[in-house]
Amino acid sequence: MDSFFARNRLSAYLDRTLPKAEAEAVAEAIARDIALSADVQAMHKVLAMMNEVGAVAAPKGFHARTMATIAAQPVPGSQVAWLQRRLARIPTELVALIGAAVVTAIALQRGTASEPSDPVAAPEYTTPAIATPTLPTPETPATPETVTEPVVPSTAPAPAAAKPVKRPKRTVKTPVPDSLPYDPNEPLAYRILSGGDQVLYDIATLADESGGRLVDVHGKLITPRALNEQNSFAAVYMVVNGANAASTHARLLERSGMEPYPLDGPQPPLNEGETVFMIEAQL
């Protein structure tokens, strides 16, 4: 055997993992080549040194210190940790906006309260229940004016001098995405915008709970990671059993909050009876 090939087999030779004939050929090459022989001796010595140092025991008190550090952490999966993760996802701008809205609302309320009251006391009456707008169904098609004004009971005195009560505009909500039907023959892709740095872990949990797996386009299992400014986007595929596809679809819709789009691009290889979903997640 040539010295070059023999040198490339030195590790396996020393580990005694070479087939017998190959090991004999390496031994012959070592006997022939002084440099190769020196390599073997030096490598042998290195292995002996590594064997001698062996595994090192963790420092004294490491166990107790680590358990104490862990005890100081929020309990994973607890409501506190859940709340912390959710709060971390709320952008600062949104918090500022909500704060400004609250301050404005309070200011407006005080302004209204300080207005001179009407000399004619408004009679007291109970506000009748407002009829709930009906969502469009096949039997009752939606119309823009499905909200009916409340009818003041005839027994109540008419508040002639009272200012007209401003009622908040009620709008009929458009159908939420989770009402979208799921067609197993039409694979879908979902977008999760502003998912937070832990979004891939959430998706992995969802896959786990659905009995599925997260893979790349080649079908290789993906280990979730935290997203950050440098890696703020990830596209993953969730493969689940067809029996769980509809419920997975519903949960993905809920998490995404957006209408999915057809998955036309490449897909990972699937086993019989499996369904794939694509998820594009953003920090």
Partner 1 sequence: MADLIRRIHSGDPAAFAEVLASEQDDVYTLCLRCLGPADAEAVCETVFVAAHQELNRVAVDTDLRTFLMKLTVAHIESHPPGGADNLDALHDRSATTQGLLAGLELPFRLAVVMRDILRMSEAHIADVLDLSLGTTRSRIHRGRLTMARGLSPNLDRV
The values of phi and psi at residue 163, to 5°, are -70, 145
Question: Which residues have CB under 8 Å from 282's CB, separation 6+?
Answer: 191, 192, 193, 194, 195, 199, 227, 232, 233
Confirm or reject binding of residue 151 to partner 1 (CB under 8 A). Answer: no
Task: List Cβ neighbours of 196 (8 Å cut-off, separation of 6 or more).
Answer: 85, 88, 89, 202, 227, 283
Least distance (Å) between residue 5 CB and partner 1: 11
Please identify which residue in 25, 30, 192, 204 interacts with partner 1, judged by CB under 8 A: 204
- By CB under 8 A, is residue 19 in contact with partner 1? no
Closest contact distance (angstroms) between CB of 171 and partner 1 is: 39
- The correct pick among 2, 5, 8, 82 for binding partner 1 (CB under 8 A) is 8
Q: Which two tokens stand for residue 2?
A: 């040539």
Q: Does 229 bind partner 1 (CB under 8 A)?
A: no
Q: Note whether 252 and 279 are within 8 A (CB).
A: yes
Strand partners, 270: none
**How many residues lie near partner 1 (CB under 8 A)?**
42
The HSE-up count of residue 243 (CA atoms within 13 Å, CB side) is 1
Q: What is the pattern of x (binds partner 1, CB under 8 A) and - over residues 168-187?
A: --------------------
Restricted to residues 58-97, the positions that interact with partner 1 (CB under 8 A) are 58-59, 62-63, 65-67, 69-70, 73, 75-77
Q: Which residues bind partner 1 (CB under 8 A)?
A: 4, 7-8, 10-12, 35, 38-39, 41-43, 45-47, 49-59, 62-63, 65-67, 69-70, 73, 75-77, 201, 204-205, 208, 223
